[in-house]
Amino acid sequence: MRKLYSLAWLLATPLAMAYLLWRSIRQPAYRAHWTERFGWHPRRAGSQSLIWLHAVSVGETRAAQPLVKALAAKYPQAHLLITCMTPTGRETARELFAKPLGERFHQAYLPYDQAGAQRHFLKAWRPQVGLLMETELWPNLMAAATEANVPVALVSARLSQKSLERGLRQRALIVPAAQQLSCVLAQSEGDASRIAQLGRPVDAITGNLKFDNSPDAALLDRGRGWRARIGRQVVLAASTRDGEEALLLEVWRRRFDRVGPAAAQSSTQTQSPLLVIVPRHPQRFDTVVRETEVTGLRVARRAALDDPQFDASSIDVLIGDSMGEMDAWYALAEVTLMGGSWLPFGSQNLIEPCAVGCPVLLGPSTFNFADAAAGAIAAGAAVQCQMIDVAIDSALALLRNEPKRSGMAKAGAAFAAEHRGATQRTMAALESILSVVGQADQLRQDRRTP
């Protein structure tokens, strides 16, 4: 079955190239590092031990931050390779890890799952161990790692019911790949139960690494500064996905009767809450600005906050077209409408606003954060709404109810703090397979000692 799978990948290579070109129209970074995507990596210089961690995109890369920090501290001689699949994930890795790790930091794209590409990748980098974040499991990658004697662990693993059903339909490919994992560490009991149905019981339940990412103090100060300057209450639509902004903007326009120039000049309208939209993907920033403008709502972009002459009372919507500032946006807002949950995307990371102390309103789709969503709702940190118009009405009601808002904020911070510790549990559970890194470092040290 894997031979047929490999043949399919080989035949799909022209399509993969066309896809990269198509994506590069909106995001030119997709034109860079093409050779890496097909397994052509220069052979790594030096003999230092190497820990390889794969995080597919931005969310997984940020989730890996406390684990990378712990690995770097425990193995000070080891180098770390961070692979991803998207330009934004690659840029995030560079921003987070290049400076603290210095020459120990390496990054690359993980190749597409062609058998030869994965073998070339492992031969070029020669890692002692591989760590896959959350849900990444590729048949040819696992076969190549087994062939190269590289132990691979799945950490902070999660598996939704939808993903399980898809995996079971591809049982002949997925089950052998899962069984080749040296270690599986699940986020929750539910994830562990679903993963076990793929033929590989988990080794430990260690929790969600995303809880261990503490809010950035400098960004929180930036957001509070924005709040003082704006001088209006703020509803934040965070990490929105394609199609969600249109739904949100239509309801928001109706709620504040934003129709025609007379409404725009109304003195009562300038006191309405400010809607801030931060799209999930940077290639959609310009699109969201255009979608907002055609509604008749007055719009500004993130750069306006750096303009001393900017008057927040003159706009209805602010587009947060920036990367790496989510903690600042959460500190600015009184309430967050969680993106990815209003259409069937499974929600984006609701743990972040909880940790900052920003009340969260969720839509019906939360399968990517099912346990965290259920926990936040039970803790009183979040409320789930089935329709976007109900959510906006709930957000506006919260703006008028400071005691309720304050209670949700405190509940969110407590909920996030209660679930920390996944990094420590993960490091303990990985001790046996990471021992090869320590042994390699000790052997190298012994050779240098007279």
Q: Which residues are catalytic?
A: 60
Give the residue among 116, 342, 105, 151 at the shortest CA–CA distance from 239. 342
Greatest alpha-carbon pair distance for the chain in Å reads 85
3-state SS string for the chain: CHHHHHHHHHHCHHHHHHHHHHHHHHCHHHHCCHHHHCCCCCCCCCCCCEEEEECCCHHHHHHCHHHHHHHHHHCCCCEEEEEECCHHHHHHHHHHHHHHHHHHEEEEECCCCCHHHHHHHHHHHCCCEEEEECCCCCHHHHHHHHHCCCCEEEEEECCCHHHHHHHHHCHHHHHHHHHCCCEEEECCHHHHHHHHCCCCCCCEECCCHHHHCCCCHHHHHHHHHHHHHHCCCEEEEEEECCCHHHHHHHHHHHHCCCCHHHHHHCCCHHHCCEEEEEECCHHHHHHHHHHHHCCCCCEEEHHHHHCCCCCHHHCCEEECCCCCCHHHHHHHCCEEEECCCCCCCCCCCCHHHHHHCCCEEECCCCHHHHHHHHHHHHHCCEEECCCHHHHHHHHHHHHCCHHHHHHHHHHHHHHHHHCCCHHHHHHHHCHHHHHHHHHHHHHHHHHHCC
**Cα-flanking dihedrals φ and ψ of residue 334, to 5°?**
-85, -25
The one-letter amino acid code at 113 reads D
Residues 6 or more apart whose CB falls under 8 angstroms from that of 316 comprise: 252, 256, 258, 269, 272, 274, 275, 297, 298, 299
Backbone angles phi, psi at 330, to 5 degrees: -70, -35
Question: 89 with 136: CB under 8 angstroms?
Answer: no
Vertex 256: Cα angle to 323 and 297 (nearest 5): 50
Q: Are 180 and 430 in contact (CB under 8 A)?
A: no
